[in-house]
Amino acid sequence: MKILVTGATGSVGRLVVDELLALGATDVRALTNNPVKAALPDGVEVVEGYLGRPETLPAALDGVERMYLAPLIRTVHEVCRLAAAAGVRHIVDMAGMKGDHWQAIEDGVEACGVPWTHLEPGEFMPNADIWAGQIASTGMVRDCYGDATNAPIALEDIAAVAARILVDGGHHGRSYELTGPESLSRRERVRLIAEALGREITYVELPRDQAIEQLALVMGEYAEWYVDGQAQLLEHPQRPVPTVAELLGRPATTFAEWARRHVDSFR
Ligand SMILES: NC(=O)c1ccc[n+]([C@@H]2O[C@H](COP(=O)([O-])OP(=O)(O)OC[C@H]3O[C@@H](n4cnc5c(N)ncnc54)[C@H](OP(=O)(O)O)[C@@H]3O)[C@@H](O)[C@H]2O)c1
Q: What is the C-alpha separation between 8 and 16, in angstroms, rounded?
A: 8
Structural domain boundaries, residue 71: 3-121
The 10s digit of each residue's pLDDT in 11-33 is: 999 999 999 999 999 999 999 99
For position 199, which CATH number holds?
A: 3.90.25.10
In a domain, 167, yes or no: no
CA–centroid distance, residue 266 to ligand 1 (Å): 22
| Domain shared by 143 and 50, yes or no | no
What would the pLDDT profile of 113-164 be if each residue is shown by its tens digit?
Answer: 999 999 999 999 999 999 999 999 999 999 999 999 999 999 999 999 999 9
pLDDT class of 110 with cuts at 50, 70, 90: very high
Judge whether 245 lies within some domain.
no
> How would you list the strands of the sheet with 174-178, edge to edge?
45-48, 28-32, 3-5, 66-69, 90-94, 116-121, 174-178
Mean pLDDT for the chain?
Answer: 97
Is 158 domain-assigned? no
User: Is 175 inside any structural domain?
Assistant: no
Same domain as 137, residue 95: no
Question: Does the beta carbon of 222 sit less than 6 angstroms from any atom of ligand 1?
Answer: no
Asked whether residue 172 is domain-assigned, the answer is no
Please check whether residues 17 and 55 belong to one and the same domain: yes
- Alpha carbons 115 and 198: distance in angstroms, whole number: 48
Domain count for the chain? 2
| C-beta 54 within 6 A of ligand 1 | no
Q: Decide if 109 is inside a domain.
A: yes
Are 25 and 40 part of one and the same domain? yes
Question: What spacing in Å lies between the alpha carbon of 52 and ligand 1's midpoint?
Answer: 11
Q: Is ligand 1 within 6 A of the CB of residue 32?
A: yes
State residue 234's pLDDT score.
Answer: 94
The sign one gets for the Cα dihedral 60, 66, 69, 73 is positive
Residue 160 lies in a domain: no
Distance (Å) from CA 70 to ligand 1 centroid: 7
- CATH number, domain of 28, equals 3.40.50.720
Atom 24 in ligand 1: which residue has the minimum CA distance? 7
Same domain, 94 and 140: no
- Atom 45 of ligand 1: nearest residue by CA position: 71
